[in-house]
Chains A and B, each alone.
Chain A
Amino acid sequence: MAIKQLTVFVENKQGAVGSITETLSKKNINLRALSIAETQDFGILRLIVDDVETAGKLLSEEGFLTKITEVVGVKIGDAPGKLAGALKVLGENKINMEYLYAFMARTEKHAYVVIRVEDNNKAETALESAGYHIITDADIAKLCANS
C-alpha cells in the first residue's frame, strides 16, 4: 500500500535542483511534495509526483541518478497535535523513522505526512489500527489532479 517516492541524487552545483524541476515541468509532471536532505557536498531530493515512473525515466535520461523508494503516506487532520498523535503511534510500536516531511492539500482540511521507516507494513498496520488513513499512489494522483 506504500506510496512511491522518487529519490534523486543532487550534486552541490548551482542550478541542479532548478534543472530537475524544469525537466519535470516540461513533461507536465506535477509535484505534490518535495524535501531535500543536504550535506556539504551533495543533496538527496525526495519527490512525490503524480507519475513517478515517467518522472524517474525523464531524469535518468538527463543523467540524474534516481531511485524509487517506497514510503508510508498518512492522512492527518490539519490541526495542532495531529502529527504528534501519529508519531506517538509509531513510537509506541517501536518503529524508527529515517525521515519525514509533510504537505497540505489545497481543497481539503487535511495534511499528509510522508514517513520513511524500515518496515512499511508494520508502520501502516500500527497507524491503521490507531484509526489513521494510509494513502496510496492513487490518492496522490487524485490530490495532484485537484490542485
Chain B
Amino acid sequence: MAQNYYQKEIETMSAEEMRKLQSEKLVKQVKHVYENVAYYRNLMDEKGVKPEDIKGIEDLHKLPFLTKADLRDAYPYGLLAKPLSDCVRIQSTSGTTGRRVVAFYTQNDIDLWEDCCARAVVAAGGTNEDVCQVAYGYGLFTGGAGLNGGSHKVGCLTLPMSSGNTERQIQFMMDLNATILCCTPSYAAYIGETLKEQGYKPEDIPLKAGIFGAEPWTEEMRHGIEEVLGIKAYDIYGLTETTGPGVAFECSEQTGMHINEDHFYAEIIDPDTGEVLPEGSKGELVFTSLDKEAFPLLRYRTRDICVLTREKCSCGRTLVKMAKPMGRTDDMLIIRGVNVFPSQIETVLLNEGYQPNYQIVVDRVKNTDTFEVNVEMLPEQFTDKVGDILAMEKSLANAMKTMLGINPSVHLVAPKSITRSEGKAVRVIDKRKLV
C-alpha cells in the first residue's frame, strides 16, 4: 500500500537529523521558559541549572520535572510564557480529579497542534476525498478542536458533530457517507452497538477508518469496534497539558503510536526515582515541548506508564513509537494491597464474551477494602433463572481473580445502565477516604 504523509520530511527524518533538530529547538525552548516563566525559573534555580547548561537533548535530564500538582499550583497564569495579548485560545481538562488545568495557545501553537492532528488523519488514510465525522466533545475539551483542525488541514469535509445525540450521529454518518469517525473508543463502541441494534451490518456503514483516543482501551476493544463498524481503528494520544490529541498517533501497522517528536520530546523515567530509563524499559512517560510559545512544558510527568521503541516501522515513519499506555500511575488502584489496572478488568470481560462496559467501585468498610465490579449484561445473556445469573457472576469473578490475584464481587447490571458522561465512561469510583 502506498504510504501518505502529511509532512514527509519530518515524519521520515533520520534519527541523527531528528536529534539535531530536537537539540536546536530544546536550547531555544529552555531559554524561552527561563526568561518568561517565573515558576519554572525558580525550579531551575533551586536545582542550580541555568539555560546555558542545556546544550542539547543529552542535557535534558538536568532539568526539573513538572507535575500535575505544579499545574494546579500555577493556575491560571503561572506557567504562561507569552503575554495574553499574543494568546488566541484556551482549552481545559475536565477537572474530574481536582482543579482544572487551563492551557493557552498562540496562533502558532494552534497551527502546530493542528499539524500534529493532520498527520494522524493522513496516517489513518485520510485525504481531501474523505468525510470526517468528529464526535469528540467540542468546547473546552481538546478532542473536538484538535481533530476538527487536523481534518481541515487535510482537506476532509469535516462534520463537527461533537459528542452525544447518537441518533443524529448515525443519521449524518449514513446520509453524508462519513468515511472517518473521530471520538472516544467507548463512544465508538456505543455507536457501533446502536447501529447493530438498528440492523446495520458493517458493510452497510460507509466508514473506513476511526481515530479513537482520550481514554484507555485494549486490543480486544479495538477488534470489537473494527468488527461492528467494518473499519480500521487507529489510536491517538495526547493530553491537554502538552497541547491535546495528536501528540502521538497510530499508522497502518497498528503496533504503537508515532510520537510527533519534532514538537514533543519523550522520555521514560522510573516513577519512584525520576531516573531516565533506557529505550524499551517500562516506566512513566515524560514530555518536553520543543517549540511551543504560550504554554511550553519542560519534562512534564504524564503519569502514563508505557514503553518507547525505535524499531523500524513498515509505514516508513521514523518517529519514535510509544506503546499504548499500560495504565496510569494515578489510575492504578491499590486494592487490599494489590495493584489493579482497569485495563485488566477489560481484558477479562472481552475474554469471557462480555462487552467492556463496566464500572469498578472501591470502598473501605471496617478497615477492609471492598472491590465491586458492575458489568453490563448482553440482552441475550439474560435469563429468568436467578441461579444462572448468579453462576455467570461467579464465573466472571473467578476469571478476574485469576487475572488480578484478588477476588472482586461481580454484579451484572442491565445494558446501557452504567453512566457515560460526554461519551467518556466513568470506569472507577473510589469511595475510600485514605488521606
Contact = CB atoms under 8 A, between A and B. Distances in A.
Interface stretch (B86-94, B251-259, B328-336, B413-421): B413-421
A69 B390 CA distance: 19
A39 interface: yes
B390 A63 contact: no
B337 interface: no
A64 interface: yes
A65 B384 contact: no
Given A9-B377, A39-B390, A42-B389, A64 B384 contact: no
Interface string B402-416: 000000000111111
B414 A11 contact: yes
A65 B377 contact: yes
Chain B interface residue number, banded: 10 to 19
Interface string A74-114: 00000000000000000000000011000000000000000
Contacts of B383: 7, 67
Contacts of A9: 377, 382, 414
Interface residues of A, number: 19
Contacts, number: 43
A7 B389 contact: no
Q: Which of B377, B386, B387, B416 has the most CB of A within 10 A?
A: B386
B229 to A, nearest CB: 24
B384 A116 contact: yes
A9 B389 CA distance: 10
Contacts of A39: 386, 390
Contacts of A5: 384
Contacts of B413: 11, 42
A44 B387 CA distance: 11
Given A11-B413, A11-B414, A65 B382 contact: yes
A135 to B, nearest CB: 19
Contacts of B384: 5, 7, 44, 46, 67, 69, 116
17 contacts: A7-B382, A7-B384, A11-B414, A37-B386, A41-B411, A42-B413, A63-B417, A65-B377, A65-B379, A65-B382, A65-B415, A66-B382, A67-B382, A67-B383, A67-B384, A116-B384, A116-B385
CB-CB nearest 4 A-B residue pairs:
A7-B384, A65-B414, A69-B384, A37-B386
Interface of A: 5, 7, 9, 11, 37, 39, 41-42, 44, 46, 63-67, 69, 98-99, 116
Given A42-B413, A65-B414, A66-B382, 9 more contacts: A9-B377, A9-B414, A11-B413, A11-B414, A46-B384, A64-B414, A65-B382, A67-B384, A116-B384
